[in-house]
Amino acid sequence: MELAPRGLFSTSWVVKTKKQENWCQKHLADELLPQLLEKGDDELAEQSLHACQGLCRHGCGKKLHRSDYKRKPRGGPSWAKRLSYCCVQCRRRMTPPSMRFLGRKVYAGFIVVLVAAMHHGLSADRVHRLRETLGIDRRTLTHWRQWWLESFVASSFWKAARGRLIPVVCQHTMPLSLWLRFATDGRRDRLLDLLKFLAPLTTSSAPAATGYVRR
């Protein structure tokens, strides 16, 4: 994999594919991916608003108004805001699930997924070059790996969701093992399916009727 230092979503990136090891790299160089993630978030927001009938779920039952808040994730496109709603009376939020943001992580969600997955299949030299290109320090990468191998696999979300994946996903090679379950043919929509699968981790305030609320 040869990476030019001009940015993630740039035609200056040269990605050389060899068998299955470069699936993740191909997605990182996909210039259409950010648009599809934005569309996915719009759809999740509409589903969440429809599920609660546009009304606050915190007791007052008043109307929800659009009230996005600032987010500036690193490593990806220039997304400036996360979609959210706010009650006109109590001012409490209803923030829909997201395919762009993985909770409070500083980097874009797909970066956290793909780079951590790539760590299992790349040489130390390639990992070093990738970290330099995306501006990810070693401590951050180590933190991501710990999150996947410890916090994620211990979460109530994963304990409930893993039963839907047959055969069993290996927890010792997360997130690569989970990524492979969704990306057996390397298509873009498999990555979108994975990010949608992870969407419950990004909110605790969306209506349960959407099917994406974190438990």
Question: Average pLDDT in the 72-79 region?
Answer: 79
Q: Confidence class of residue 15 from pLDDT cuts 50, 70 and 90?
A: very low
Could you report the per-residue pLDDT of 110-127, keeping only the tens digit for each? 888 888 887 765 667 766
Region 125-136: mean pLDDT is: 73
| pLDDT tens, residue by residue, 148-195 | 999 999 999 999 999 888 888 999 999 988 988 886 555 677 888 899
Which residues lie closer than 8 Å to 178 by C-beta, 6 or more apart? Answer: 165, 169, 194
Instruction: Give me 98's structure tokens.
Output: 């997201």
Residue in this structure with the two tokens 């040489």, named with its chain if needed: 123
Average pLDDT over residues 33-55: 92
Between the alpha carbon of residue 156 and those of residues 89, 152, 164, 169, 204, the distances in Å are 32, 9, 14, 16, 12
C-alpha to C-alpha distance for 195 and 28, rounded to whole angstroms: 14
Choose from 42-51, 73-82, 161-170 the range with maximum mean pLDDT.
42-51
Indicate if the alpha-carbon torsion angle 136, 149, 178, 176 is positive or negative.
positive
Per-residue pLDDT for 130 more than 60?
A: yes
Residue type, 101: F
b/e per residue, 120-131, with b = 16+ CB within 10 A?
bebeeebbebbb
Q: Are strands 69-70 and 64-66 parallel, antiparallel or unpaired?
A: unpaired
| Average pLDDT for 69-91 | 87
DSSP element (H, E) containing 27 = helix 23-28
Q: How confident is the model at residue 24 (pLDDT cuts 50, 70, 90)?
A: low
pLDDT for 4 beyond 90: no
Domain ranges in the chain are 23-206
pLDDT at 25: 66
pLDDT band at 212 (very low <50, low <70, confident <90, very high): very low
Mean pLDDT throughout 59-70?
Answer: 91
pLDDT at 208: 52
Residue 148: what pLDDT? 94
**pLDDT of 21 strictly over 80:** no
